[in-house]
């Protein structure tokens, strides 16, 4: 697994150096992370979603199953056995926050808030790189929509995932 984390960190270094393009569309935290994994592990993006993101966290909250949320990826990757304890987190691991990024009133269901979830990548033992509006990260180093946030200004993650391209659902 160290090789995957090293490849993720290599992709991020090349991105910060300007030699690789990643998904930087505003508020596409999952798109950014999956584009990193796509480059690092040489997995086509459609294959990533069809193979690794198969669980919808709460189907009654979704308006479409075509566009998975960070919560869905978190649940799927955890169910594939990729979760690691927070104390064992290493650079290159994915940090998820389940109850983050509350949806606006247009996607609320039955009077309760809907959360997309959020995901970033542990860049160093002390920093997380993420795609989030700088408005929400006053203590971050900002490059457009990409923030490098000191870990002590981040929320406690609901899951830490060490991506393993070999972990696939039964029948794959």
Percent of the chain clearing pLDDT 70 (strictly above): 80
Pairwise pLDDT comparison (158 vs 104), residue with the higher score: 158
pTM score, whole prediction:
0.87
Domain ranges of the chain: 2-161
d(C-alpha 115, C-alpha 102), whole Å: 4
3-class SS at 78?
Answer: helix
- CB distance 121 to 95 below 8 Å: yes
pLDDT tens-digit readout, 9-23: 999 999 999 999 999
Other CB atoms within 10 A of residue 130 CB: 24
Q: In CATH, which of 3.40.50, 1.10.287, 3.90.1720, 3.30.70 is domain 2-161?
A: 3.90.1720
Choose among 62, 65, 74: nearest CA to 30: 74
Is the confidence at residue 35, as pLDDT, over 90?
yes
pLDDT tens-digit readout, 95-149: 998 765 555 544 445 555 666 788 999 999 999 999 988 888 888 998 888 999 9
Is the confidence at residue 89, as pLDDT, over 90?
yes
Other CB atoms within 10 A of residue 91 CB: 18
């Amino acid at each position: 697994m160290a090789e995957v984390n090293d490849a993720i960190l290599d992709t991020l270094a090349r991105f910060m150096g300007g030699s690789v393009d990643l998904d930087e569309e505003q508020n596409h935290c999952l798109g950014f992370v999956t584009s990193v994994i796509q480059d690092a592990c040489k997995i086509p993006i459609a294959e990533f979603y069809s193979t690794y993101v198969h669980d919808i966290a709460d189907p009654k909250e979704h308006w479409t199953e075509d566009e998975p949320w960070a919560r869905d990826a978190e649940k799927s990757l955890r169910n594939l056995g990729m979760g690691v304890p927070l104390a064992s987190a290493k650079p290159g691991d994915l940090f998820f926050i389940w109850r983050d990024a509350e949806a606006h009133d247009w996607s609320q269901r039955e009077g309760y808030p809907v959360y997309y979830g959020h995901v970033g990548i542990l860049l160093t033992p002390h920093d997380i790189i993420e795609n989030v509006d700088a408005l929400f990260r006053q203590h971050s180093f900002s490059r457009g929509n990409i923030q490098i946030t000191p870990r002590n200004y981040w929320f406690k993650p609901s899951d830490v995932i060490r991506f393993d391209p070999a972990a696939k659902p039964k029948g794959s």
